Amino acid sequence: MKGAEDLGGGYKAIFQLENGFDLDTGRLGQGGRMFGRQAYVGVSNDKFGRITLGRQYDSVVDYLAQTTSNGQLVRAPVLASASTARSVRKPDMAGFQFGGTYSFSNDTNFADNRQNSFGAQYTTGGLLFAAVYLQADNTGATSGGAIATNSHSACTCSARA
């Protein structure tokens, strides 16, 4: 499910809830989490971009997936845990887009199980150039950190446009 509500002045409240399940058994994917793929809320503006909070994909999915022949990644995308991710994505500015994510650790050792990424993309004519940086510290070190052991998606992921 996804939606948007006009707030006036070019601003919109946005949300997205995605869930995965096994077609053979009907069990929930992503470690049995309800809305285990993405679950976020935020504010968007066509001129300034968007900021979102919640469980969502890293910048690798946002910027590099479109550079593949089928628009999907082969690796399982990294998902930041619920209520810790912050994502900022700027709108298209003459073919250039950029953004990033940050996910806090829920551990007393702040360096355990946190994640940050940022990326950029430039499109001109039929060419697309993209670059991404991703740092994930001690993933799965804690069950409630940025990236728990069972936080990876079980399937490939289509990129958001």
Query: Rounded CA gap, 51 and 28, in Å?
Result: 28
Q: How confident is the model at residue 147 (pLDDT cuts 50, 70, 90)?
A: low
**pTM for the full predicted model:** 0.69
To the nearest whole percent, how much of the chain has pLDDT over 70?
70
The pLDDT of residue 150 is: 57
Tell me the C-alpha to C-alpha distance, in Å, between residue 43 and each of 6, 13, 17, 112: 10, 5, 15, 29
Sheet of strand 11-18, all strands in order from the earlier edge strand to the far edge = 2-8, 11-18, 38-45, 49-55, 85-89, 96-103, 114-124, 127-137
Query: What domains, with CATH codes, occur in the chain?
Result: 2-137 (2.40.160.10)
The pLDDT of residue 108 is: 73
Per-residue pLDDT reduced to its tens digit, 28-85: 877 777 777 788 999 999 888 888 888 887 888 888 877 776 655 544 455 554 334 4
Give the tokens for residue 39.
Answer: 């679950």
* pLDDT at residue 145 greater than cutoff 50: yes
Tell me the C-alpha to C-alpha distance, in Å, between residue 51 and each of 46, 54, 110, 148, 155: 12, 10, 23, 23, 26
